Amino acid sequence: MSVTAALKPRMTLHDLLCRPLFELHLHSDVDKGDGKVKYVLSGEGATSIFTIDENTGDIHATKRLDREAQAYYTLQAQAVDRLTNLPVEPRSEFVVKVQDINDNEPKFLDGPYLAGVPEMSPLGTMVVQVAATDADDPTYGNSARVVYSIIHGQPYFSVEPKTGVIRTALPNMDRETRDQYVLVIQAKDMVGQMGGLSGTTSVTVTLTDVNDNPPRFTHRNYQYTVLESLPVQSVVARIKAADADTGSNAEMDYRIMDSDGPGMFNVTTDEDTQDGVIILLKPLDFETKSGFSLRIEATNRNIDSNFLSLGPFSDTTSVKVTVEDVNEPPVFSTPLSRMVVSEDAKVGTSIGRVSAHDPDTTNNAIRYSIDRNTDLERFFNVDALSGVISTAKALDREANSVHNLTIFAIETQDPTQIGKGISLITVQDINDNAPVFAIDYETLLCENAVPGQVIQTISAVDKDEPLNGHRFYFALAAPVAGNLNFTLRDNKDNTASILTKRGGFRRREQPVYRLPVLIVDSGSPALSSTNTLSVRVCDCDSDGVALSCGAVAYTATGLSTGALLAILGCIITLLGGGRFLSLQNRIFKLDCAHCNLRERLRRVLCV
């Protein structure tokens, strides 16, 4: 305690915490002991912690002091006249310092602790550092000087007394043997001496994994059975190499080292389970091969070079895959058979033969039939035993030139086993159709036509398809072959031209001429037809524009009546304007020697 001014203490205030309270006596030289002077106290803790006897000046601490709560108190004391309360001496100020005692144990503010250290670590590997604090005065004695010790956790770990650093006390601790340890660490003040206070905390140490365990198959041999009908890309089997490590240290890759069925299988890793998944890559066939032998290796992906001596980090096993027979449907020797039949083939004519066999070892007998959904009109039959396909009715190439039949091959012992084959039957053409006009011609002829003028070019069509193409021959039929009005010229290109032999045609004398035209094809034997060409005589102006073509109304082939009336209405409107329109080479000038009505109407439409 330090005191300033006139009041003088008679004793020093000493540690008041946890001990009997002491008094402090202040006295003024003015005080004669006659009761005229009284003492007053003010400042920190006055009246609440400290009190003063106004008669004697004795100061008492009324409660125990805690240095960690407040280490200093500043007080003011004064002697005053009892009657007037006027000071008889100047105010005195003194500071009370609370002296520390060891009343606080060390505390681990961050505990409990969680820490990890890799398994197989060398002796002395640092794990974690712990720290305890002591609220006592570090500048006074050893009350706040802490040392650390391990109460529980030996012989696996140790702690440095001064620093609190925890280290491994044993080398090569194995996570797979024990993966977690709970340590109890003590911090004791007074430098660990007798009578010091202490606190504890727990430290949970987890050994983290390293890749120190190679994969190992639990069996040297595995056997699996699959049906030969197993689809491609299906899972054949799953195998697993056990690895005591975890996470990425347990990841592995599988591969087929050897197999007596190259390309038949593949093995991949299931990333979720680390299983080796054997996949079928090609179809199985019991009759060809009833079993396969594989040698499969599992290898760790992430090998730690620090632990190579614990390897090798791979293992192998043998896998036997047995193929189990299933009843398979018949198989056609040729899945798609092509056949040809003449259009004039007689009913019952044999076209060809299909053949199928039972791929199973039982080799059951087979019966054949036609899928009638592919032969609705039943043009063909198939012999149930021999597989010979024959005609069942007359054929017409022009109606259907190709028949696509589905043929069933059915096991007699198990009718549910059905194989399917395709027979593509092409009907060969014969010359059974005569040529005819390509279109319905209607030829217009101006009265002023001159001899030798071409009034129509005709062509023909034929439903047949000869191998070397069509060649048509044209001529006027016998009744008019020698007439004096018209002649026909074969252009040798499958067309013919109709020409006038004279001029001076008169519509009033004969408005229509009908010419029978003979068309002959080049088939063997050749076929022919006679087609009638109608020639109408028209009244034309000097430019060849048809003004009138007789009283008979004509409807162009390919145009509706409504369309024709609309066209004629347009023509009347144009002509009614009193003007002669000459558009696109005078489209209303009709050359009766070269145009038929349809062509002229089409030209009007274009306008």
Q: List all residues 6 or more positions away from 60 whose beta carbon is below 8 Å from its beta carbon.
A: 21, 23, 50, 51, 52, 53
pTM for the whole structure? 0.53
Domain 217-324 sits in CATH at: 2.60.40.60
Buried b (16+ CB within 10 A) or exposed e, 66-104: ebeeeeebebbbbbbeeeeeeebbebbbbebebebbbeb
Residue 268 burial (C-beta neighbours within 10 Å; 0-12, 13-18, 19+): middle
Topology at the third CATH level for domain 331-428: Immunoglobulin-like (2.60.40)
Domain boundaries in the chain? 2-97, 107-208, 217-324, 331-428, 436-538
pLDDT at position 552: 43
Q: Thinking of the domain 107-208, which architecture would CATH place it in?
A: Sandwich (2.60)
Answer yes or no: are the C-beta atoms of 341 and 351 closer than 8 Å.
yes
User: What residue type is assigned to position 280 of the chain?
Assistant: L
Q: Which of 351, 545, 518 is nearest to 437 (CA)?
A: 518
Closest CA to 214 of 279, 138, 307: 307
- The token pair at 485 is 């009005």
Residues of the chain whose pLDDT is less than 70?
Answer: 1-23, 481, 550-607
2-97 against 436-538: fold identical: yes
Provide the pLDDT for residue 367.
Answer: 96
Q: Two tokens at 176?
A: 């797979």
Residue 575: what residue type?
A: L
Distance CA 377, CA 531 (A): 34
- pLDDT score of 154: 92
pLDDT at 569: 53
Does residue 122 have a cis bond before it (omega within 30 degrees)?
no
Fold of the CATH domain 436-538: Immunoglobulin-like (2.60.40)
pLDDT of residue 437: 95
Residue 179: both structure tokens together: 């993966």
pLDDT at 21: 54
Q: Which residues contact 510 (CB under 8 A, 6 or more apart)?
A: 537
- How far is C-alpha 445 from the geometric centre of its chain's CA atoms? 74
Give the sign of the dihedral formed by CA 57, CA 62, CA 65, CA 69. Answer: negative
CA-to-CA distance for 437 and 496, rounded, in angstroms?
A: 11
Q: Which two tokens stand for residue 472?
A: 């048509």
Please state, in angstroms and rounded to a whole number, the distance separating the CA atoms of residues 159 and 168. Answer: 9
**Nearest CA among 533, 509, 510, 517 for reference residue 455:** 533
Count Cβ atoms below 10 Å from residue 322 Cβ, excluding itself.
Answer: 12
| CATH H superfamily, domain 2-97 | Cadherins (2.60.40.60)
